Amino acid sequence: MTKPKKFLINTIVDAQPFSSGEAWKLLGDVEDLPEGFNDLHGYMVTIHTPRGSHPLWIPAVFFEAISSEVI
């Protein structure tokens, strides 16, 4: 049986409350969500790696469920 490989991941993750409307505005020249879309409470999660930062918006219900498992 071969030994499993181990990897050191140099990653920092931070999160801050961020509505879906605010996240939408980060996409560019838009002022509001498209008609018919509700503004949802969520979190802007930023994953910082040696190669750069990667933002990801996650709805609050999902974020709270997964963060309680990770922490």
Q: Which of 46, 57, 45, 54 is nearest to 19 (CA)?
A: 57
Kindly compute the dihedral angle of the four CA atoms of residues 34, 37, 39, 45, in this order, to the nearest 10 degrees.
-80
The pTM score is 0.67
Position 71 pLDDT exceeds 60 = no
Strand order in the sheet with 42-49: 12-17, 42-49, 52-59
What percent of the chain is predicted at pLDDT more than 70?
89
- Look at 10 and 57; give whichever has higher pLDDT: 57
Q: Domain limits of the chain?
A: 46-71
pLDDT in tens, 30-57: 677 778 888 889 999 998 988 899 898 8
In which region does residue 36 sit, left (phi positive, over 0), alpha (psi from -120 to 50) or beta (all else)? Answer: left
Q: What is the mean pLDDT of the chain?
A: 82
Which pLDDT score is estimated for 65?
86
